[in-house]
A and B are shown apart, each in its own frame.
Chain A
Amino acid sequence: MSQENRPPGSFEALHPVPGFAFFGLVVLLTVLYMHPVMLGVSFCCAAAWALYLRRGRALRFILTLLLPVMLLAAVLNPAFNHRGVTILFYLFTGNPVTAESLYYGVAGALMIGAVLLWFYCYNLVMPSDKLLWLLGRAVPTLALVLSMALRLVPHYTAQAKRVAAARAGLGLGRTAASVVARAREGLSILSVVTTWALESAVGTADSMASRGFGTGRRTAYSTYHMTRRSWLALAFLVLAGAACVVFFATGAVSVAYFPRFELGGAPLAQAALCVIWCALCAFPLVLDLAEEVSWRSSRLRI
């Protein structure tokens, strides 16, 4: 999708730098500290954003894939992990099940759920060209290999369809009866496409070389502009992330699951951390919702 097609105020329309900053911060802090309130907030915000972006399909993903995985994670931890001082009951193996390992299991399940949901959203709003933009600055040749490979996959699929059609026209592999025959036909097509791919690669390479590949610094065209909005978003994300790190690094807030579950820190510090974390996690959803509201209201005024 080109930049013009995105609603200009949405998270997706932001520059890749604040985009990656957001996902990096949210996933890293969720995984790093395992603060129970932070995990819950992170999970809820990720789920809300996923539901906003994909509605029913996100709901189906959460119900059929995510919840079973989370349940499994929540059950597995107390079954294998016997640390903690509060023993609830004993397993048939004689190992104790502790309240702490149960808490930890639930926290771990929330963490996995939140991370998978953030990645679900990432795959929706961060198309490959944003990552290629970032890599293109750091490792231009590798980014070129990647973008060529991404472009070649549909190219080969289309060529495979043409080859199949041509072979069908010759009377080969038409509605082949057995599975073996069909598999052999598929491998024949793959073989033809491989030859064609390798031979056309030579043309591409020669063309690249003759147009001066590797003779100077590569420039990269991009449609992304670091607008005032993107700068503000980046500043907010960096400040909020830094604040969260400071709370934990200075010991103002601490979390321990073993040997005894403990939330350390003054209530005020806890509350401040939660407010900042909520603002950070809800950031993309707030942007998208505000954009939708302003769009609807301006449509009403017409």
Chain B
Amino acid sequence: MLSQANYYLLSVGIILVALAVMVVRFEGRRPRAREVVTLSVLTALAVAGRAAFFMLPQFKPVAAIVIIAGVALGAESGFLVGALAAFTSNFLFGQGPWTPFQMLGFGLVGMLAGLLFHGRWPLSVSGTAGTGQLPHCEAEMTGQRIHEPQWDSCPVSPDPALGSFAAARDNAEPEGHSLDIPGQIAALMAGRQSSRLRLALLCIFGGVAVVAIYGPIVDASYLLMFSESLSSTTLVAVLASGLPFNLIHAAATVFFLLVLAPTMLEKLERVRMKFGLFTGQKRETKRDEAAVRFK
């Protein structure tokens, strides 16, 4: 019979092994400078976001930014940004027995976002150009085309970003919405959704991920710390008492995804197009090293 403390230590040990696996994979890949910088920038943005909203507990944009990172950079980077954001922000808010659980929670959210949304669609979910100005949210929602060109399957596919810039120009005048639900579902099946539907799916994913993944993991860690009896009753009690906070957190995540995802993904897409920041994740190690050595 394990005592309470040993359940806690056991779970922390398992989490540390999981984190170590991801970290060793990352190190072993010998990432390029651009990847290293991108990861730290997104981590820092998530942490700065948590710091900016510190006065509103649970109302934090970390999960939203982690999800955006996962969508833009893929599952592995999403996991790393999530875990690192939790770890880094605890340098400001205090490390504690909860740190490994927060790292796992945010890491999994970012990873799932990457698995579900990365590369499936054009990088950006919106059709607005990144001008540095945040478009009004409602104009954002109504000013979209229902069907965007299907870049993925075009034989000669135009650059997604070019297409979306063009779409933004065409949609300068907001058009009334036409809710063509069967059409939307058919589009979903065919893998070409309107940007509105894509954004809605991303928001739903964000809310569900916070309530179903991040929240339970962190709440369960309190159970492991506080209570000796690991029974389904205590688990239900702890999860139920945490639910209101998780719902606030989920609402915040949906809100931030709604306002941040279109612009941020657009900006990431723009940087990708302009500088090739997220392309070619594998480095040409041998050639680079040789070039430096024989200089």
Contacts and interface: CB of A to CB of B under 8 A. Distances in A.
A193 B285 CA distance: 33
Contacts of A188: 133-134
A73 B52 CA distance: 32
Interface string A194-207: 11011101101110
Contacts of B87: 146
A153 interface: yes
B234 A80 contact: yes
Interface string B129-150: 0101110100000000000000
B244 interface: no
Interface in B258-295: 259-260, 263-264, 267-268, 271, 275, 277, 283, 285, 288-289, 292
B55 interface: no
A161 to B, nearest CB: 11
Contacts of B88: 146, 149-150, 153
B71 to A, nearest CB: 15
A193 B65 CA distance: 14
Interface size class of A (residues with CB under 8 A): 35 or more
Contacts of B48: 152-153, 156-157, 160
Nearest to B130: A195
Interface size class of B (residues with CB under 8 A): 35 or more
Interface stretch (B112-120, B159-167, B175-183, B222-230): B222-230
Contacts of A116: 96-97
A145 B40 contact: yes
B32 interface: yes
Contact of A153 (B9, B47, B285): B47
A179 to B, nearest CB: 12
Contacts of A72: 226
A198 B268 contact: yes
Contacts of A191: 132-134, 263-264, 267
A85 interface: no
A214 interface: yes
Interface stretch (A104-112, A245-253, A275-283): A104-112
Interface string A132-158: 000000011110111011101101110
Contacts of A111: 5
A188 B97 CA distance: 36
Dominant SS at the B interface?
Answer: helix
Contacts of B49: 190
B253 to A, nearest CB: 15
A266 interface: no
Contact of B95 (A122, A157, A190): A122
Interface in B33-49: 33-34, 36-41, 43-45, 47-49
A184 interface: yes
B260 A190 contact: yes
B30 A198 contact: no
A34 interface: yes
B153 interface: no
Interface of A: 28, 31-32, 34, 72-73, 76-77, 80-81, 83, 101, 104-105, 108, 111-112, 115-116, 119-120, 122-123, 128, 139-142, 144-146, 148-150, 152-153, 155-157, 160, 184, 186-188, 190-195, 197-199, 201-202, 204-206, 208-209, 212-216, 257-258
14 contacts: A108-B226, A119-B94, A144-B36, A145-B36, A149-B44, A149-B84, A150-B44, A152-B40, A157-B51, A194-B45, A197-B45, A202-B275, A202-B277, A214-B288
Given A150-B91, A204-B37, 9 more contacts: A81-B227, A119-B94, A146-B43, A146-B84, A188-B134, A194-B264, A205-B277, A216-B289, A257-B3
Interface of B: 1, 3-6, 8-9, 23-24, 26-27, 30-34, 36-41, 43-45, 47-49, 51-52, 80, 84-85, 87-88, 91-92, 94-97, 130, 132-134, 136, 225-229, 231, 233-234, 237, 259-260, 263-264, 267-268, 271, 275, 277, 283, 285, 288-289, 292
